[in-house]
A and B are shown apart, each in its own frame.
Chain A
Amino acid sequence: MRKGLLQLFSQLLTCFALSFVSACSPPGRGSAEPASQFVPGEWKPSLEQVQTSIQDELDTGTEKSQRYLNRASQNLSDVRDAQLFITYVLLAQGLDAKEQKALFDEQKTWLANRHELARSAVVSKGGSLAPLEYASAFRQVTEKRLAELEQRLTQVTNKK
């Protein structure tokens, strides 16, 4: 069930990405004109229940194996990353072409830094704990960025 949902969202996100690339193409670039809307306003996919469900399972009960913990942690970080992707796309479509380009560059730099930050949080020298350390740090960094972009999205939406 959760796997199916994640697959569906993965497909939706691919559509978002393709739409975004086409919306960022040269005609509008460099001008202050607002980019054309490419995500219908009423389309707001939510991953919140998937996230809560994984977190609840993780928090309840005992006797969880390392494999379970690693997978759950990876699933949570995947969901957060997908939420960040959605927020990024929604934010980008509310910006003019120049701002979109700035956001794109900013995000590219941030993505490179995220890996470094997550990697630096791993203190194990390999072993099965390392993926848990990495995925958990990856999620924390992603959540911080998600909060930032959500705040900016609210500001952009309120301006309209």
Chain B
Amino acid sequence: MNLTAQQKRICEQVVNVFETGSTDGDYSNISIYNDGPNDIRQITYGRSQTTEYGNLDELVDLYASRNGLFSDKLRPFITRIGIKSLVDDKNFKQLLRDAGKNDPIMRQVQDEFFDKVYFQRAMRWADDNGFMRPLSALVIYDSWIHSGSILDFLRRRFPAVPPAQGGTEEDWIKQYVETRQKWLASASNKALHATVYRTRCLLNEIGRGNWDLSQLPIKANGVNVSGQ
């Protein structure tokens, strides 16, 4: 997938808005959810939200190696993350917040980290399946951030095949987003219904043929995104 710097920035900004309401995202955000192993609460941190029992240790390790403002204070926690619960450790959480808020190095590290963990993986999937259009990149990246991947059970619900299997890129993307929209809008778990603003926005861009993401701004959940 060959994206210009601006096309990539548009993809990131649209998804940042979907996630946090802001084009910049929120580097200092900490949320506590009880979806850790065996029902335990865990810390979820950063611009694209990595978890205490997921990859938080990797992120903090990377930050510690870059001599950021809070690297020395965060370093001792690395071996404990994901081993011993830190959800009630006020010092640890405050250090993460402070680093995300006040240290440009932490922001840089998060950009690199989330690019590697989410964006590059999503683009690898796009390449493997023959997708080339920037709007396809946005759709695939959004699915990766929101649902962790391109969901197989959704793929089984529509007939189009990816370009790598002889299908048409635009058809596949449109059918995937429509299927995802139907799923989110009618899921038995009603909490999902409120998230259809993502697929609505994507369908709107598909509808106006914005395949190279050149028609700007893109209205994402009420926020104008122009890749600036």
Binding site for B on A (CB under 8 A): 58, 62-71, 73-74, 77-78, 111, 114-115, 118, 121-138
- Flag if A74 contacts B194 (CB, 8 Å): no
- Flag if A127 contacts B147 (CB, 8 Å): yes
List CB contacts (< 8 Å) of B136-164 with chain A.
144-149, 151, 153
- Flag if B197 contacts A128 (CB, 8 Å): no
- Flag if A69 contacts B195 (CB, 8 Å): yes
Task: Contacts A74-B31, A114-B39, A125-B148 given; indicate if A67 touches B195 (C-beta within 8 A).
Answer: no
- Flag if A128 contacts B33 (CB, 8 Å): no
- Flag if B34 contacts A135 (CB, 8 Å): yes
Task: Contacts A65-B221, A68-B21, A71-B31 given; indicate if A136 touches B147 (C-beta within 8 A).
Answer: no
- Please, how many angstroms separate the alpha-carbon atoms of A98 and B205 in the complex? 64
Look across to chain A and name the residue whose beta carbon is closest to the beta carbon of B153.
A123
A-B CB contact pairs (8 Å), 7 listed:
A63-B222, A64-B21, A65-B19, A74-B32, A130-B35, A134-B35, A136-B189
Question: Within 8 Å CB of B20, what residues of A?
Answer: 65-67
Question: Within 8 Å CB of A78, what residues of B?
Answer: 34
Q: How big is chain B's contact interface, by range?
A: 35 or more
Binding site for A on B (CB under 8 A): 17-21, 26, 29, 31-35, 38-39, 44, 48-49, 54, 144-149, 151, 153, 189-192, 194-195, 197, 221-222
- Flag if A70 contacts B192 (CB, 8 Å): no
Interface residue SS majority, chain A: helix
Task: Pick the residue among A74, A125, A127 that contacts B34 (CB under 8 A).
Answer: A74
Residue among B38, B144, B191, B222 with most chain A CB within 10 A: B191
Look across to chain A and name the residue whose beta carbon is closest to the beta carbon of B21.
A65
Task: Contacts A115-B39, A135-B33, A136-B190 given; indicate if A63 touches B26 (C-beta within 8 A).
Answer: no
Task: Contacts A125-B151, A133-B191 given; indicate if A65 touches B18 (C-beta within 8 A).
Answer: yes
- Flag if B151 contacts A77 (CB, 8 Å): no
Task: Pick the residue among A67, A122, A138 that contacts B26 (CB under 8 A).
Answer: A67
Look across to chain B and name the residue whose beta carbon is closest to the beta carbon of A124.
B147
- Flag if A67 contacts B147 (CB, 8 Å): no
Task: Contacts A70-B33, A74-B32, A136-B191 given; indicate if A128 touches B38 (C-beta within 8 A).
Answer: no
Residue among B20, B26, B144, B147 with most chain A CB within 10 A: B147
- Flag if B38 contacts A132 (CB, 8 Å): no
Question: Within 8 Å CB of B39, what residues of A?
Answer: 111, 114-115, 118
